[in-house]
Amino acid sequence: MSIAIDTSIRAGVSSQALEIKPISGPLGAEITGLDLNLPLSGLDLARIRMALVRHNVVVFRDQHITPEQHVAFSRRFGPLQVHVLNRFHLQGHPEILIVSNVIEDGKPIGLVDAGADWHSDLSYMPKPSLGSLLHAQELPAEQGDTSFANMFNAYETLPAEVKQLLEGRRAVHSYVYRYRRLQKLSPWRADLTQKQIDEVPEVEHPVIRIHPESGRKALFVSEGFTSHIVGLPKDESDALLRFLHEHSVDPENVYRHQWRAHDMVFWDNRSTLHYAAITPQQLRRTLYRTTVEGDIPV
Ligand code: SIN
């Protein structure tokens, strides 16, 4: 049997003076004392990972890092997923998706409406994302917040009869379903090519998933990517998904992140949904996103 040893442990890298400060509200913590320009020890990584699982979203302030460092840090948590919209990859860094409302030479430099409805990143993949790391590049003086909903709470606060109704149910997640819906609202979404469509066939996942690291149950459906619940008539599935959506994004269950320059935000896609309204074009907003691959949901 081979045992994986973190290279930072082997190299004897010393730990940074991390402090984890929970944000008051349903989720979130700020991690201070971390500088992503310095080497990270195995202990630093373990503490970040534990904070992520416990608080669902962790915020690192004032990180002056290059795209290479962003990718290298993200990779410490698992393999990275490459987004199907290759048009918005950062040049030379296909693991980075540009999220931006900036138009240059009449063309968008990034995906302007990446967060335009509530979703969990890449839930349409057979192995949905463990988490996403979003690093602020250029921020407007106002607007541009990102909101996160706690999907452990969403499950735990469901009425008993709804929990029973959902037990053992599966739902379909589809990239193309969401894309075509957003396409009606956004002039920047060109038609997908057949190759892109073939890369993201729809998938089924359990409606309630067990978090692989904490063992807690989380609701795993979203307004964005979940087209329907398997085995229910369309009107019943639509009504149930609408109910679950409204229940999940109740303001009491949401943390709204107001971005500061050079913030890096790391969220757990297995236990949160997120949303960011499109920021008007005159308020320039650009962020770089990586997504770490997770497990097959159970
Ligand atoms: C996203 O959905 O990954 C983008 C979120 C944002 O624009 O803040």
Average pLDDT per run of 10 along the chain, which is 298 residues long?
50 80 97 92 95 98 97 97 96 98 94 94 98 98 97 98 98 97 86 96 98 98 98 98 98 98 98 96 96 98
What's residue 48's pLDDT? 97
**Ligand 1 atom nearest 285 alpha carbon:** 7
Domain definitions of the chain by residue range: 7-293
194-230 per-residue burial string, b: 16 or more CB within 10 A, e: under 16: eebeeebeebebbbbbebebeeebbbbbbbbbbbbbe
The answer to whether 198 is a known catalytic residue is no
Distances (CA, A) of 274 to 26, 135, 178, 256: 13, 15, 15, 9
DSSP assigned state of 7 = H
Distance 111 CA to ligand 1 centre (A): 9
Q: How close is the Cα of 264 to the center of ligand 1, in Å? A: 12
Half-sphere exposure of 138 (CA within 13 A, CB side): 14
Strand partners, 93: 90
pLDDT at 9: 53
Active site residue 238: no
Compute, in angstroms, the gap from residue 68 CA to the centroid of ligand 1.
20
- Strand 29-32 with 57-60, pairing: parallel
Ligand 1 atom at minimal distance to the Cα of residue 145 = 8
Distance 272 CA to ligand 1 centre (A): 13
Is 76 a residue of the active site?
no
pLDDT of the residue at 10: 54
Residue 83 is among the residues annotated as catalytic for this protein: no
- The DSSP bridge pattern shows strands 129-138 and 107-108 to be unpaired
State the pLDDT at residue 14: 73
DSSP character at residue 221: -
Ligand 1 centre distance from Cα of residue 289 (Å): 8
Q: Does domain 7-293 have CATH number 3.60.130.10?
A: yes
CA-to-CA separations, 182 to 87, 113, 186, in angstroms, rounded:
17, 8, 6
259, 288 contact by CB (below 8 A): no
**Per-residue pLDDT, 266:** 98
Q: Which of 287, 288, 292 has most ligand 1 atoms within 8 Å of its beta carbon, as the pocket-test mutant?
A: 287
Q: What is the distance between the alpha carbons of residues 298 and 210, in angstroms, rounded to a whole number?
A: 6
Please give the pLDDT value at position 8.
57
* Residues 6 or more apart in contact with residue 290 via CB below 8 angstroms: 70, 71, 74, 80, 95, 96, 97, 132, 133
Out of 55, 257, 274, 285, pick the active-site residue.
274
Whose Cα sits closest to atom 5 in ligand 1?
115
Candidate list 113, 121, 263, 268, residue with the active-site label: 121
Q: Which atom of ligand 1 is nearest to the CA of 259?
A: 8
